[in-house]
C-alpha cells in the first residue's frame, strides 16, 4: 500500500533527491536506525499529517538546519515536523538529557 503511494508523492529531480536523502540521513542519525526504517518513518509521518513526502522531508531538513518558519506551502509541514522531531533540535543553551 505505501509503495503505491510513494512515487506520486516524491519530487525526484536532483535537488529533491538530495533533500529527501538528507532527511533520511537525519532520521538515521537521530534514531540510529536503518535507511529502510527512516524511509518508513518519513512516509508514515507525512501520511499521518496529510502531506506528500517531499514537503515533510524538506521541513525536517529545514528544522535540523535551524531554519525559521517560512511562507506557504511548507509552513504547515514545518509545524508538523516540529511536533514530530522538534525535541531533537533543542536550542544550543538547553539540556538535551
Is 62 within a domain? Answer: yes
Q: What is the largest CA-CA distance in the chain?
A: 43
In whole angstroms, what is the distance from residue 86 CA to residue 63 CA? 8
The single residue listed with the C-alpha cell 504547515 is 76
Overall number of domains in the chain: 1
Residue 78: CB atoms within 10 Å:
21
User: Which domain does 25 fall in, by range?
Assistant: 12-87
Is 75 within a domain? Answer: yes
Residues 56, 77 contacting (CB under 8 angstroms): yes
Q: What is the pLDDT of residues 12-59, one digit of tens each?
A: 578 889 999 999 999 999 999 999 999 999 999 999 999 999 999 999
Q: What is the pLDDT of residues 51-96, one digit of tens each?
A: 999 999 999 999 998 876 665 567 888 999 999 999 998 776 555 4
- pTM of the predicted protein model: 0.75
Amino acid at each position: 500500500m505505501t509503495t503505491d503511494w510513494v512515487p506520486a508523492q516524491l519530487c525526484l529531480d536532483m535537488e529533491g533527491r538530495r533533500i529527501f536523502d538528507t532527511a533520511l540521513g537525519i532520521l538515521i542519525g537521530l534514531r540510529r536506525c536503518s535507511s529502510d526504517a527512516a524511509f518508513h518513518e518519513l512516509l508514515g509521518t507525512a501520511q499521518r499529517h496529510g502531506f506528500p513526502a517531499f514537503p515533510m522531508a524538506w521541513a525536517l531538513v529545514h528544522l535540523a538546519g535551524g531554519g525559521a518558519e517560512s511562507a506557504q506551502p511548507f509552513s504547515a509541514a514545518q509545524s508538523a515536523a516540529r511536533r514530530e522531531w522538534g525535541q531533537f533540535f533543542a536550542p544550543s543553551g538547553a539540556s538535551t538529557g
